[in-house]
Amino acid sequence: MRSDILSFSAVVAASLVASSDLVSASSNIELENEGIVNVGSLRKLKKGKKGEEGGKKIAKKAKKAKKGTTSDSMAFSTVGPPDGENVCHEKKVEIANVQCVIDQVNQTGEQSGTNVTEGYKGNQATTAVPITVPYYQKGLCPVNVHWHLGTEHLSAGEYDETGTGPTEIAHRRKLAGKARQGFQCNLYDDSEDMFTSHYDWKYCTDMEVGQTYEVHWPHSTIGACGTVNQFQSPFYDGVFCYSELLTADTVINENVGVQAQIFTIVNDEDYYYPDLMRGMIVDGDFGADVAKYTGSTTGTSRDNDVCSGYSPITWQVDRKCHMVSASTFDKMCADMLSQRDDMSGDVYPHGSRALVADHLAADNHSR
């Protein structure tokens, strides 16, 4: 990389030059609870006694749900908290995409998503060190959840070019419109009803039983952790909520990280998990084999020619594919719609970035 390229930290600090009394961020920043705001108005619902009674009915219905059976849908509450100030509104720090390579020289930091097969290492030398313990141990909290159609990462034998889904790849991409399809898991079996039976989605949109999705949970030490403003859309608002705490000396990859976990959706309540919004599932083989490395933000505005300037940040990626019920995702979407900030822009699958080339992937992948 060119020696004169500004670090991610320096760019962030430069964008905040108008702010006074900047304080160094650490991996365990303590933040005071602030007031709160509702930016979204698309999901306003009546609260109070009616909402409380509805919640009790939903709880009773959930308890009565039969295990091992398919369902048309389950009902969940989308009632949010009272209005208040959103201290994270429009806190995104703008960093433009850049041309990845000029004259055979990388122009930015390491990129994501990469090959995360055990033993893989990229070719881009980096001095950044990923967080290797659970994020909460370093003071990071989840500030958003969103997912991609197919996977942006690749794990050989788990989610790769041999994966299958409910429709042929060309037809899938046509159905997906502008959303680019990533890799798929190897779990789909069209002879089993749970991969093919209809589910009546009530809260998520453009979703498909049998399909593979890569879920991302951006985390930050400078989010509104522990408050009703914690979850934000776009995720950059949550990540940079207290950006005035950053300086050019801040080690960003120690303060910003993303969890990623890959799921095939089934219509079977034996695979129901009730709290997917708040982070990676850690249960048995869920979250047991996790790759850690430093990379960047993703999405289809980047590829191997145009790179993200948000680098380096930590990634922790589950190498295995897992099955969860459609109701798990629908419950997550209902939870998202019950946040104070309007998260309706994240309740559908986003397109997947093309797999990062070796020369743009960090050489620090570890288990």
- 281-284 contacts at long range (C-beta below 8 A, 24 or more positions apart): 281/322, 281/324
With 70 as the cut, is the pLDDT of residue 346 above it?
A: yes
Lowest mean pLDDT among 38-42, 118-122, 261-265: 38-42
State yes or no: pLDDT of 228 exceeds 80: yes
**pLDDT tens-digit readout, 8-42:** 566 555 555 444 333 333 333 333 333 333 333 33
How far from each other are the two terminal CA atoms of the chain, in whole angstroms? Answer: 26
For residue 169, what pLDDT is reported?
A: 52
The position carrying tokens 């946040």 is 339
The span from the CA of 246 to the CA of 179, in Å, is: 34
| Strand partners for 295 | 313
Q: What rounded mean pLDDT belongs to the chain?
A: 85
Q: What is the pLDDT of residues 87-112, one digit of tens each?
A: 999 999 999 999 999 999 999 999 99
For the chain, the structural domain boundaries read: 8-360
Answer whether residue 226 shows pLDDT above 60: yes
Residues of the chain with pLDDT > 70, as a percent, come to 77
